[in-house]
């Protein structure tokens, strides 16, 4: 089964918006065992849209069209699909009613344009809108199919998961359930993981189900994804657990979470479980560690605050760091203790390092010291050498520090 993707919008071609939708769709299709071999961006031009849709349909079994379902005169996806189907556009009463009731529920005035969104090509079926005013469309073209979804990411994602992937699987004649488990890792390269899991990968190649994939996700680490196909959900999960176990026993040292967990959510959960509060002192990352922890709603339950000690005087006067080099084992340890005391937290996490562009105190760009001060005021300190220029080095420092804290709390 092959499903190509077409993203609609002149703003995508002009670089005003980056097309992240087709990447997301590609990831979901791959996880469902469906090939997506060509993905295209085309502007809001009826002739070119029709041409590209025909081109993609001539090669793929199915095409997802993303965007161009809005109410303005630039939104031409409905018209393009009707032309490809050789069908008329007819107002769908149910869709129209849903649009009218959405506007009245929000107390907003509806313009005549909005009724354009109730037009459906004859022969197409509707994916009901639950979040926005535009419904999705399932449009048969001969023995192939075009799916249309809005370009708003959360509306698109909802319709793809709820309606399109199940429809594609049904069309492929597969009544199988497909389930995935993602193991999130930090601290091992992709080739390193590959090497350590080689025996299991070879075994999986023989059985063919589940499949295993590595997804390198930059400074979010590397995801190891197991995807199983089976007659029932339970059977698929059983297959996954059977293989998750040996994978975990090979690389348990680098797995920090599963599925939607992030390093920051895992650290906050560990603190909450142990009834501990956290304070952070950071210089090289300049507030990014605190910024990332507080991106999690509810972090205020355990996160008390942070000190960004950029100037040396702030380190000395506020955190009580003794005189001496600011990027050092001793400075990091004193910062972690200082964070605990000044912020009144149970645990203190501190980072000091060199992000560049030039070295500092004789330490090269990429130097990082991480310290964790525990409730009994004992401190452990780690020294790392990270790659990358300023931005990358700072982002790697954030996740490295959170991982050190996670390991300390897990012990």
Closest distance to a copy of itself from the beta carbon of 160 (Å): 12
Closest distance between a copy of itself and the C-beta of residue 76, in Å? 15
- 327 in Cβ contact with 263 (< 8 Å): no
Residues 6+ apart with CB under 8 A from 353: 283, 284, 285, 327, 363, 366, 367, 368, 369, 386, 393, 397
Considering the complex, state which of residue 97 and residue 391 has its C-beta at the smaller distance from a copy of itself.
Answer: 391
Q: How far apart are CB 3 and a copy of itself at their closest, in Å? A: 11
Smaller CB separation from a copy of itself, 177 or 215 = 215
Shorter beta-carbon distance to a copy of itself: residue 139 or 278 = 278
For residue 145, report the phi and psi dihedrals to the nearest 5 degrees: -150, 140
Nearer to a copy of itself, 124 or 327 (CB): 327
Whichever of 248 and 390 has its CB closer to a copy of itself, that residue is 390
- The 10 Å Cβ neighbour count of residue 96 is 16
Q: What is the DSSP string of 323-367?
A: SS-SSSHHHHHHHHHHHHHHHT-SEEEEEEE--SSS-BTTBPTTE
Q: Which two tokens stand for residue 43?
A: 């502007």
**Identity of the residue, 52 or 95, whose beta carbon is nearer to a copy of itself in the bound complex:** 52
CA distance between the termini of the chain: 47
- Stated length of the chain: 411
SS3 302: coil
| Three-state SS at 255 | strand
CB of 65 to a copy of itself, least distance (A): 14
The rounded distance, in Å, linking the Cα atoms of 118 and 92 is 6
Between 12 and 404, CB nearer to a copy of itself: 12
Please report how close the Cβ of residue 385 comes to a copy of itself at its closest, in angstroms. 18
Question: Cβ 290 to a copy of itself, closest distance in Å?
Answer: 3
* Minimum distance, C-beta of residue 358 to a copy of itself, in the bound complex (Å): 9
- How far apart are the C-alpha atoms of 409 and 119, rounded to whole Å? 57
Comparison of 118 and 386: residue with beta carbon closer to a copy of itself: 386
The angle that helices 263-273 and 390-410 make with each other, rounded to 10 degrees, is 30
> Nearest CA to 173 among 125, 238, 236, 229?
229
Minimum distance between the CB of residue 135 and a copy of itself, rounded to whole angstroms?
23
Site of interaction with a copy of itself (CB under 8 A): 12-20, 22-28, 30, 36-43, 45, 48, 52, 55, 215-217, 277, 280, 282, 285-291, 293-295, 297, 299-300, 303-311, 313-314, 317-318, 342-344, 356-357, 390-391, 394
The Cα–Cα gap between 8 and 79 comes to: 13
C-alpha distances (whole Å) from 386 to each of 9, 286, 391 are 40, 17, 12
Spatial distance between the Cα atoms of 407 and 207, rounded to a whole number of angstroms: 35
Closer to a copy of itself at the Cβ: 253 or 317? 317
Q: Least distance in Å: CB of 94 to a copy of itself?
A: 29
């Amino acid at each position: 089964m092959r499903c190509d993707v077409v993203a609609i919008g002149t703003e995508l071609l002009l670089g005003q918006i980056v097309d992240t939708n087709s990447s997301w769709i590609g990831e979901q299709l791959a996880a469902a065992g469906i090939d997506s071999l060509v993905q295209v961006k085309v502007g809001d031009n009826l002739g070119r849209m029709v041409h590209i849709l025909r081109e993609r349909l001539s090669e793929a079994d199915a095409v997802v069209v993303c965007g161009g379902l809005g109410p303005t005169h630039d939104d031409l996806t409905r018209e393009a699909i009707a032309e490809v189907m050789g069908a008329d556009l007819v107002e769908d009463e149910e869709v129209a009613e849903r649009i009218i009731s959405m506007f009245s529920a929000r107390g907003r005035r509806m313009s005549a344009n909005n009724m354009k969104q109730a037009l459906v090509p004859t022969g197409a079926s509707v994916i009901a809108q639950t979040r926005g005013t535009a419904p999705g469309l399932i449009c048969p073209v001969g023995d192939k199919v075009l799916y249309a979804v809005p370009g708003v990411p959360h509306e698109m994602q909802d319709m793809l998961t709820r309606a399109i992937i199940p429809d594609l699987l049904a069309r492929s004649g597969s009544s199988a359930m497909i389930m995935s488990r993602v193991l999130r890792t930090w601290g091992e390269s992709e080739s390193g993981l590959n090497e350590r899991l080689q025996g299991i990968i070879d075994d999986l190649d023989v059985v063919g189900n589940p499949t295993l994939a590595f997804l390198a996700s930059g400074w979010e680490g590397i995801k190891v994804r197991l995807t199983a196909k089976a007659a029932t959900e339970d059977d698929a999960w059983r297959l996954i657990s059977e293989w998750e176990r040996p994978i975990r026993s090979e690389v348990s040292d680098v797995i920090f979470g599963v599925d939607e967990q992030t390093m920051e959510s895992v650290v906050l959960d560990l603190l909450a479980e142990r009834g501990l509060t956290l304070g952070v002192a950071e210089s090289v990352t300049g507030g990014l560690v605190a910024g990332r922890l507080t991106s999690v709603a509810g972090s205020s339950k355990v996160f008390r605050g942070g000190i960004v000690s950029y100037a040396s005087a702030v380190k000395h006067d506020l955190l009580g760091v003794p005189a001496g080099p600011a990027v050092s084992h001793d400075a990091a340890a004193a910062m972690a203790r200082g964070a605990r005391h000044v912020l009144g937290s149970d645990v203190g996490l501190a980072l000091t390092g060199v992000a560049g562009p030039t070295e500092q105190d004789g330490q090269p760009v990429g130097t990082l010291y991480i310290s964790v001060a525990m409730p009994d005021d004992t401190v452990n300190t780690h020294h790392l050498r990270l790659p990358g220029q300023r931005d990358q080095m700072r982002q790697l420092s954030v996740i490295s520090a959170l991982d050190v804290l996670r390991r300390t709390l897990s012990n």
